[in-house]
């Protein structure tokens, strides 16, 4: 099954389960522990909800972390237990774009302002 990432509704319903797509900003907020709603969805895995993301979104979120962030590796472990990770290349047919410093900072500012 392929999930359209470019445009359209990223939250879909498949076999009675609501499928929620976590973009890089949502992944970063989860990793930093700044979004209680996302944290609850990941930690408490509800059977009626499926969470999905791409390897690119994880890459961007991890690259946006700073050494002084309150990042715990156990959060990442739980994330991989409860979130389906799809290949960006397989979904889009193109290579992952290079993450620039500017894009990482923009992502970080966006994720942190939504506290």
Residue pLDDT, tens place only, 59-104 = 999 999 999 999 999 999 999 999 999 999 999 999 989 999 999 9
Residue whose structure tokens are 């930093």: 32
pLDDT confidence of residue 46: 85
Report the residue count for the chain: 115
Q: What pLDDT, on a 0 to 100 scale, did the predictor assign at position 6?
A: 44
Asked whether residue 4 carries a pLDDT value surpassing 70, the answer given is no
pTM of the predicted model over 0.85: no
């Amino acid at each position: 099954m392929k999930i359209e990432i470019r445009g359209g509704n990223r939250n879909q319903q498949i076999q009675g389960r609501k499928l929620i797509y976590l973009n890089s900003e949502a992944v970063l907020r989860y990793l930093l522990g700044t979004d209680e709603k996302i944290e609850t969805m990941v930690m408490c895995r509800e059977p009626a909800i499926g969470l999905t993301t791409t390897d690119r979104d994880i890459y961007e979120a991890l690259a946006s972390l700073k050494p002084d962030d309150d990042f715990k590796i156990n959060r990442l472990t739980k994330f991989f237990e409860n979130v389906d990770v799809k290949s960006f290349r397989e979904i889009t047919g193109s290579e992952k774009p290079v993450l620039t410093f500017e894009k990482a900072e923009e992502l970080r500012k966006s994720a942190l302002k939504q506290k």
